[in-house]
A = this chain, B = another copy of it.
Amino acid sequence: MDYNQILQEIYEEIQPYASMGAPASYIPELQKVNPDHYGICLHTLKGKEYAMGDCDERFSIQSISKVLVLAMGFSRLGNQLWKRIGVEPSGNAFNSIFQLEMEKGIPRNPLINAGALVMTDILISTLSHPEEEYLTFVRELCGCDDIQYNEHMATSERETGFLNAAIVNMLKYHGNIKNDVEEVLRFYFLQCSIGMNCRELSRAFLPFADHTHPFSFGGTTLTTSQVKRINAIMQTCGFYDEAGEFSYLVGLPGKSGVGGGIAAVCPRKYAVAVWSPRLNAKGNSVMGMKALELLTTKTAISIF
């Protein structure tokens, strides 16, 4: 498989999509980013790296962090986790509070905001130094010591994060948040704020594709079976209410963020990260979605 050739072809074929969509408008910091960026990086299990475009520029990973937080929590709580969160696709917009009301404060899955807020609460209860340990985990995953929180972005998101404040209060009302709501919100927005580039993000997801090495980073250890299960959740829940569409067109487990990043894994083959800030109406990167669709079409490899 000549991945360099494929990444080149993808780059050319997605040009018609280059000006479609728009960056997230509700997070002031994200609007400052040049929307024309595009980068893609792929790491194979054999240790090769293939990169194309703006792969060294860091962006805010936003909701992609939810996978990392899930890994940390699943490692500590195991199946106890599922008493407080489901594994079903949400079937609604990424910020729906309705299902929460109907289902008495049990979020549908850990990859929607409500679920990630409960995961955040769990980490606060479980870890001695949640903020430090999360950073350590991410740094070890991608092998990069200078990954940082963007405090300024986290603060700015909290100030306008009324929907997440509504969600966390609903969860607290239903007894599914144990810590102080402001503490949960602070840590949640910090998780989302960290900046990574495509190389780092792809490397961070490689262990989810790799069933041959043990998953053990910064105190977070997962069995092969647990890694597969995280992949299964990404597959069915990773793209808000476009999860089916992504599964249908791309056929890989993955997770998107409103910063325009998408990370995906092809189990036993490779991990890939793509970044382009313009989003479609569902909040997923237009070029990123298209690039990954072309990737599995051209390689003729997907999980199906």
Name the B residues within 8 Å of A162 (CB-CB).
Answer: 169-170, 172-173, 181
Apart from A98-B101, A98-B102, list 14 A-B contacts with CB within 8 A: A86-B244, A88-B91, A88-B243, A88-B244, A89-B236, A91-B92, A97-B101, A109-B244, A162-B181, A224-B300, A225-B297, A229-B248, A231-B304, A232-B248
Contact residue among B90, B166, B233, B237 (Cβ-Cβ distance under 8 Å from A173): B166
Is A165 an interface residue when CB atoms closer than 8 A count as contact?
A: yes
A242 interface residue per 8 A CB criterion: yes
**A positions within 8 Å CB-CB of B:** 86-92, 96-99, 101-102, 108-109, 162-163, 165-167, 169-170, 172-173, 181, 224-225, 227-229, 231-233, 235-237, 241-245, 247-248, 251, 253, 267, 297, 300, 302-304
A/B interface sample: 28 pairs, CB < 8 A: A86-B244, A87-B245, A88-B91, A88-B242, A89-B89, A89-B236, A89-B243, A89-B244, A91-B108, A97-B97, A97-B170, A162-B169, A162-B173, A163-B170, A165-B166, A166-B166, A166-B167, A166-B169, A166-B170, A224-B300, A227-B304, A232-B244, A233-B247, A235-B235, A236-B236, A236-B243, A236-B247, A237-B244
- The CA-CA distance from A260 to B220 in the complex, in Å, is 40
Docked Cα-Cα span, A172 to B162, in Å, equals 6
Kindly list chain B residues whose C-beta atoms are within 8 Å of the C-beta of A244. 86-89, 108-109, 232-233, 236-237
Report the minimum CB–CB distance from A270 to chain B (whole Å). Answer: 14
Contact present for B304 and A228 (CB under 8 Å): yes
Chain B residues whose C-beta falls within 8 Å of the C-beta of A88 in the assembled complex = 89, 91, 241-245
For residue A243, which residues in chain B have a CB less than 8 angstroms away from its CB? 88-89, 236
Q: Work out how many copies of this chain go into the complex.
A: 4
Cα A224 to Cα B251 in complex, Å, equals: 13
A133 to B91, CA, bound (A): 34
Residue of B nearest to A209 (CB): B304
CB of A304 within 8 A of CB of B235, answer: yes
Tell me the nearest residue of chain B to A173, going by C-beta: B162
How many Å lie between the Cα of A98 and that of B232 in the bound state? 27
Write the chain B residue with the least CB distance to A240.
B88
Q: How far is the CA of A251 from the CA of B297 in the complex (A)?
A: 22
The 5 closest A-B pairs by CB, nearest first: A91-B91, A88-B244, A166-B169, A162-B173, A89-B89
CA distance A78 to B191 in the complex (A): 42
Inter-chain contacts of A98 with B (CB < 8 A): 97-98, 101-102
Shortest distance in angstroms between A205's beta carbon and chain B's nearest beta carbon? 13
Smallest Cβ-Cβ distance to A100: which chain B residue? B97
A122 to B91: give the CA distance in the assembly, Å.
Answer: 25
* CB atoms of A304 and B91 under 8 A apart: no
State A109–B181 Cα separation when bound (angstroms): 29
